[in-house]
Amino acid sequence: MKEVAKITLYEINKCGLYKFKKDEKPILGDLTDFLEQLEIWAKQPDMFLANTCTYAPIGTDDSYKTYCYDIISNSYLTLLTLWIEVPKTKGNKILSVSSKATVGNVTVNTANIKKGDIPGYAAYFLFFKDKNIMATINFDHSMNGRQNLEKYLTEFISKISSYAESEVQKDNDGNSLEIIKYRKSEDDEAEFLTAYFETRLVRNKTNIDFLKENFDLIRKIHKHNEIPFFKHENKAYWQKFPTFSSSKTEELTAKYSLEMKYRPCSSEEIETIITDWENSHKATKWEDLGFTVQGKSSPIWLSGTIARNDFEINISRSKDEIVNPNILLTELNNIKNQILNLQTS
């Protein structure tokens, strides 16, 4: 069955155990090393999915955990599927509301889940092991789970990787403290290090560099956004025109554009705006930020600089709608060069 996968490239700018965060290279570990360790750890005999969360201390609330659903590899790629938990009530129920309810008159619907079940969604990550590049693979929704991935792998490196050695010590008040140090082998002296796994969007740098180098030519800033709303059975006259109606979906969106005069003071100011937009924007075709530059006939939009594209691939889904990882990895392997070419397209 063919489906469209939205694939976005990220550079892995930190992966390992570092003396200082500013260091470019880790003291211990690399991407291939930690992915191999994770696969061995997660697939050890009798490992329950509930025990694959790396960052929730025992005894705390169990909401918003992240679990290893599956991890498989070939010579060049690793496909990691995470199961990202969504909130549930203390009574093991998921809450929802009708999208057509009016404000102040909303009925909350509850769906029971069996004890021990974990409500959530699957997130798919493809790692190019020898290039420090990864990609998020989206099929059904815009949430790619990247922040969960960063926390998941950071905590795995910090507490579970083969380099970690922990011991319990008593402080001056008699309280127990877990101390973790790191070393490659028993012959090495253990030392205090910090684990990091951090990613950032891969971009076609041409337009980004142009904006920063020509910040003094920027004259306007533009923003695209959209507000979702729903059509009612009783339409106003203007709503009956084809342009304002949709026969395929109950949901409509109001798209709008804003623009204002803007002259940045420095290239650093532009870089800050771009970074903030990367961290907050949603992966939709409409939501965007752009700049009018003197001498250019149309704005330069930031979405056009992201290494992202849609790919139609053959996949297979199980009864629970999860994409079969083995088939997905085979398909992604067939187009791996096209995915990497997003860096320069």
Longest dimension (CA), the chain: 81
Average pLDDT of the segment spanning 84-110: 75
pLDDT at 187 over 60: yes
Average pLDDT of the segment spanning 152-173: 91
pLDDT single digits (tens) 58-68: 555 545 789 99
332: exposed, middle or buried (Cβ count in 10 Å: 0-12, 13-18, 19+): buried
**Gap between the Cα atoms of 19 and 332, Å rounded:** 36
pLDDT single digits (tens) 240-291: 444 444 444 445 566 667 888 989 999 999 888 888 877 665 555 557 788 9
Q: Could you state, in order of their start, the residue ranges of all structural domains in the chain?
A: 2-88+115-202+308-343, 205-305
- Do 327 and 315 contact (CB within 8 A), yes or no? yes
Of the pLDDT bands very low, low, confident and very high (cuts 50, 70, 90), residue 321 is confident
DSSP 158-225: IIISTTEEEEEEE-TTS-EEEEEEE-SSTTSPPB--EEEEEEEE-B-HHHHHHHHHTGGGEEEEEEEE
**Gap between the Cα atoms of 97 and 109, Å rounded:** 6
User: For strand 176-182 and strand 2-18, is the pairing parallel, antiparallel, or unpaired?
Assistant: unpaired
Of the pLDDT bands very low, low, confident and very high (cuts 50, 70, 90), residue 159 is very high
Q: What pTM value is reported for the model?
A: 0.74
Higher model confidence: residue 164 or residue 254?
A: 164
Task: Determine which of 65-74, 289-298, 313-322, 326-335 has the lowest per-residue pLDDT on average.
Answer: 313-322
pLDDT for position 300 = 84
Mean predicted lDDT score pLDDT of the chain: 83
pLDDT at 192 over 90: yes
pLDDT at 239 over 60: no
Dihedral, 135, 137, 143, 149 alpha carbons, nearest 10: -50
Q: Tell me phi and psi for residue 184, to 5 degrees.
A: -80, -40
Higher model confidence: residue 284 or residue 321?
A: 321
- 157 to each of 44, 57, 148, 307, how far by Cα in Å? 17, 15, 14, 27
